[in-house]
């Protein structure tokens, strides 16, 4: 009788959860163990900067695996467990307590770490980073007594926090080093529209602004000195300076890393028995090795890594996407943006909806929408099917976007 396969997954985010679930589905006889450092069932993180911060929901309300948790799929969950080493020679992982778990296949989904600003280190008084439910609850509690919040970073997380704090009645200032907000994910027109939404609600956006120093004042407030020698005062500071891949475990085990764990199209690392997925990896993309930090990517790549760890040989080909909620704006991007697309097409719908398309030849390569959820879903299918489109018709809101799905794939 053949012994069942042991599959270990490290990481309690969406990549790890879906890797564990799909590994069990692919090989029901396998013993699948999910290792998580958090003390609870893995939960969705997007609500942390919105519903959880506003006190409208708890992370426990949104388990990644659904109401039955990962146990409902036959996966064993080990909470409050930190993996400190991978012993590749013995095919074992080592936990902080010294316990060893054997694996036949291993999936690393350790995600990313917040990028800290030296002048505002993690753990400093009245300085907050947002990555976990505990951090969201701590920030939410602090905001109840705050009058002025300063957000360092005009990216998605920073602006979501700014919007939530504004809804709570807190005065907000955002410091962004670049000349516009959301410069890494949005075109100039979309950035301008989001900027206008924030300014109309009283958010003070300081663009082209460098933070040079931060100092705690005797009254508990924080004085922030900018590159123009201006001093901004705040009761609280939230740092949204992006994230870095947490590839430390893989690097110490001798796996190939390069600003993330390098994997092939099947999510295999340089060790054929070890797979990796999610924020922590660099994988073959349309423009070479790339890294992504969005939820859909983590879910889909985690699923592929899990199936392959259980014996499949699937390729990861998912179309990337992201979304963000700020005030009354629902921002979505789908596909792979290019610095120099062949053509850009703007489509304005009813009310406040709009989509900006990027085309490569006759194909849609990327779409960015505001309050256009239904059309963005169609855009995803156009990208997946490589469907040829007429740019003039694409811009016409009187032509239903779904009509393009009837066309043949572009050659």
Give residue-wise pLDDT tens across range 312-362.
Answer: 999 998 888 999 999 999 999 999 887 788 999 999 987 789 999 999 999
Structure tokens at 285: 């993309």
Q: Same CATH topology for 6-38+45-113+243-309 and 117-239? A: yes
The answer to whether 60 touches 41, Cβ cutoff 8 Å, is yes
Structure tokens at 116: 């800290």
Residue 410 has pLDDT above 70, yes or no: no
User: Per CATH, the architecture of 6-38+45-113+243-309 is what?
Assistant: 3-Layer(bba) Sandwich (3.50)
Q: Tokens 């590994």 identify what position?
A: 23
Q: What is the 3-state secondary structure (H, E, C) of the chain?
A: CCCCCEEEEECCCHHHHHHHHHHHHHCCCCEEEEECCCCCCCECCHHHHCCCCCCCCCHHHCECCCCCCHHHHCCEEECCCCEEEEECCCCEEEECCCCEEECCEEEECCCEEECCECCECCCCCCEEECCCHHHHHHHHHHHCCCCEEEEECCCHHHHHHHHHHHHCCCEEEEECCCCCCCCCCCCHHHHHHHHHHHHHCCCEEECCCCEEEEEECCCCCEEEEECCCCEEEECEEEECCCEEECCHHHHHCCCCECCCEECCCCCECCCCCEEECHHHEEEEECCEEECCCCHHHHHHHHHHHHHHHCCCCCCCCCCCEEEEEECCEEEEEEECCCCCCCEEEEEECCCCCEEEEEEECCEEEEEEEECCHHHHHHHHHHHHHCEECCHHHHCCCCCCHHHHHHCCECC
Residue 151 has pLDDT above 60, yes or no: yes
Domain boundaries of the chain, sorted by first residue: 6-38+45-113+243-309, 117-239, 328-406
User: CATH topology for 117-239?
Assistant: FAD/NAD(P)-binding domain (3.50.50)
In CATH, which superfamily holds the domain spanning 328-406? FAD/NAD-linked reductase, C-terminal dimerisation domain (3.30.390.30)
The strand order across the sheet containing 343-348 reads 321-326, 329-335, 363-370, 354-360, 343-348
Residues 6+ apart with CB under 8 A from 65: 17, 21, 41, 42, 72, 73, 75
Q: 10 Å Cβ neighbour count for 14?
A: 30
For residue 53, the model assigns a pLDDT of 85
Band (1; pLDDT cuts 50, 70, 90): very low
Band (3; pLDDT cuts 50, 70, 90): low
Residue 2 has pLDDT above 60, yes or no: no
pLDDT, averaged across the chain: 93
Give residue-wise pLDDT tens across range 78-105.
Answer: 999 999 999 999 999 999 999 999 999 9
Q: Hey, what's the torsion of the CAs at 67, 69, 71, 72, to 10 degrees?
A: 40
For residue 299, the model assigns a pLDDT of 95
Predicted TM-score (pTM) of the model is 0.91
For residue 163, the model assigns a pLDDT of 96
């Amino acid at each position: 009788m053949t012994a069942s396969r042991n599959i270990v997954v490290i990481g309690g985010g969406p990549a790890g959860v879906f890797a564990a679930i799909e590994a069990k589905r692919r090989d029901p006889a396998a013993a699948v163990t999910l290792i998580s450092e958090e003390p609870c069932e893995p939960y969705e993180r997007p609500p942390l900067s919105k519903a959880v911060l506003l006190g409208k929901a708890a992370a426990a309300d949104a388990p990644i695996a659904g109401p039955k948790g990962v146990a409902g799929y036959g996966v064993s969950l080990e909470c409050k467990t930190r993996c400190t080493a991978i012993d590749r020679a013995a095919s074992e992982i080592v936990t902080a307590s010294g316990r060893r778990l054997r694996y036949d296949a291993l999936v690393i989904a350790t995600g990313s770490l917040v990028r800290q600003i030296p002048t505002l280190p993690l753990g400093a008084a009245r300085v907050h980073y947002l990555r976990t439910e505990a951090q969201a609850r701590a920030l939410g509690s602090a905001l109840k007594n705050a009058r002025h919040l300063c957000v360092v970073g005009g990216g998605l997380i920073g602006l979501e926090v700014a919007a939530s704090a504004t809804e709570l009645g807190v005065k907000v200032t955002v410091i962004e080093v670049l000349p516009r907000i959301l410069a890494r994910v949005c075109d100039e027109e979309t950035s301008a529209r989001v900027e206008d939404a924030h300014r109309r609600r009283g958010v003070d956006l300081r663009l082209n602004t460098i933070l040079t120093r931060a100092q705690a004042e005797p009254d508990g407030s924080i004085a922030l000195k900018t590159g123009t020698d201006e001093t901004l005062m705040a009761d609280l500071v939230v740092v949204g300076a992006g994230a870095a891949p947490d590839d430390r475990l893989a690097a110490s085990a001798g796996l190939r890393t390069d600003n993330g764990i390098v994997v092939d199209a099947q999510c295999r690392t340089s060790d054929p028995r070890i797979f990796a997925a999610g924020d922590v990896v660099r994988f073959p993309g349309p423009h070479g090795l790339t890294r992504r930090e969005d939820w859909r990517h983590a879910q889909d790549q985690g699923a592929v890594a899990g199936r392959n760890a259980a014996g499949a040989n699937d390729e990861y080909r998912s179309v990337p996407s992201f979304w963000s909620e700020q005030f009354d704006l629902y921002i979505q991007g789908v596909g792979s943006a290019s610095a120099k697309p062949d053509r850009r097409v703007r489509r304005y719908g009813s009310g406040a909806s709009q989509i900006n398309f990027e085309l490569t030849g006759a194909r849609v390569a990327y779409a960015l929408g505001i309050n256009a959820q239904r059309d963005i879903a169609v855009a995803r299918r156009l990208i997946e099917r490589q469907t040829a489109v007429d740019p003039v018709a694409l811009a016409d809101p009187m032509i239903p976007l779904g009509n393009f799905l009837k066309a043949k794939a572009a050659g």
